[in-house]
Amino acid sequence: MQDVSIAPDIEPPSLPASETDGVIALAHLPGAAHVAVIGRRTLPFVLALMERGCACVRSLRPDAAAPDCELVDLAWIVDVANEQELDDALRAARRRAGDTGRIVLEGAVCRSCGALRPHAAAAGLDLVSVDRLTQRAVLAATSRIALAA
């Protein structure tokens, strides 16, 4: 007879509420925002946003096609493996955010890809601001005025 042991329930890692509050404030969004979290390890971010009361939260992988393309107020890129995934994530975020949504890149993503501006421009995005304390970047769709210049 085989001994089958049951693994204990392991809770996913938690994310402090101040992290999600900071991102929502940085992107100037309402409390009940629609959010897409893009990356490989998104569960803590998704759970924290749901706990915060966001109206709709979804998780997307940068290297996989999404079954829908619903617009969101915020696309939060939390984790990418390399520059190719960064490009994929920025394009996916641009499609999700539309012309009015915001895109936030988590600090680890900003540190791993030093030349962010060319990647952002290739996806049709402008760098709006950088929070040096948290090392997060906020991007938005390139405005028509900027395109004309």
pLDDT averaged over every residue in the chain: 82
Which residues have CB under 8 Å from 89's CB, separation 6+? Answer: 38, 39, 62, 77, 80, 109
Q: Which domain holds residue 41?
A: 17-148
CATH of the domain at 60: 3.40.50.150
**Residue 25 confidence (pLDDT):** 85
Tell me if the pTM is above 0.85.
no
- Overall average pLDDT of the 2-18 stretch: 61
pLDDT of residue 148: 47
| Rounded Cα distance, 92 and 87, in Å | 9
> Is 121 inside a domain boundary?
yes
The answer to the question of residue 1 being in a domain is no
**Total number of domains in the chain:** 1
Residue 128 lies in a domain: yes
Residue 9 lies in a domain: no
32-41, 86-95, 103-112: segment of lowest average pLDDT? 103-112
- For 56-112, strand residue ranges (E) read 56-60, 74-77, 102-105
Residue 4 placed within a domain: no
